[in-house]
Structure 1
């Protein structure tokens, strides 16, 4: 591998990593316009394993905006990113696949608009596929594979006689 190819690969890897980071930030910040811009025009996401829906990026952004309103505090931690590049139309490096683990702590909205309920935490793995476009790298698909979740336990006071 030549130095030029190695440098191009490193630059592509950094750009792909930035898209994954921007994905997490858009969801955590509730920036659904930024979320939509991360996808190709035919981009899709699948949240069914986490109890969600599957569809095009616009439909998913609408669903997320409603669902995430339950959680005013959220923080995606996307780690263990494995990036693989592939060819499209015989041009090496036009596609990328990222498999990454995630932990996602969130806080339920309280009745007074604050965050008073216990945390909801889930974890699993993302499968991202990306396409290099004239505008840079864009998400073609996002698939969530939720592996576990910890929901708050409702504590009830013992009944008084």
Structure 2
């Protein structure tokens, strides 16, 4: 009977681990989709800015206020993109403690939260080493050619 209880305990632990990994994979996918949307928004704002500059140049008018609004919008989007990219990098370069599940730096020997020794397998390979490659879009935000 003890063997069966051990088996159930191990099976429950495996299900818990699988659930946590699935949650992390979903979060990573959500962040990547958000990054794609922000890159798209940046590209659209660059295009809008270029259209305004072209229109003002052709007509001989100036509207620095409108241009400043577009530049501010682009700067805000670039800041959001930087935050999301940092979150993605944190998830990708972290490993989970086998004891408590806390994310630790990849080279950590002991867990920062509970002090448990990180297993050799956990330290050796990143959390998402086998994950499929990212979307074909560039890591860098869209920037117009000068």
Q: Give the TM-score, by structure 1 length.
A: 0.29
Where is the strand percentage greater, Structure 1 or Structure 2? 1
Where is the helix percentage greater, Structure 1 or Structure 2? 2
Q: Give the TM-score, by structure 2 length.
A: 0.32
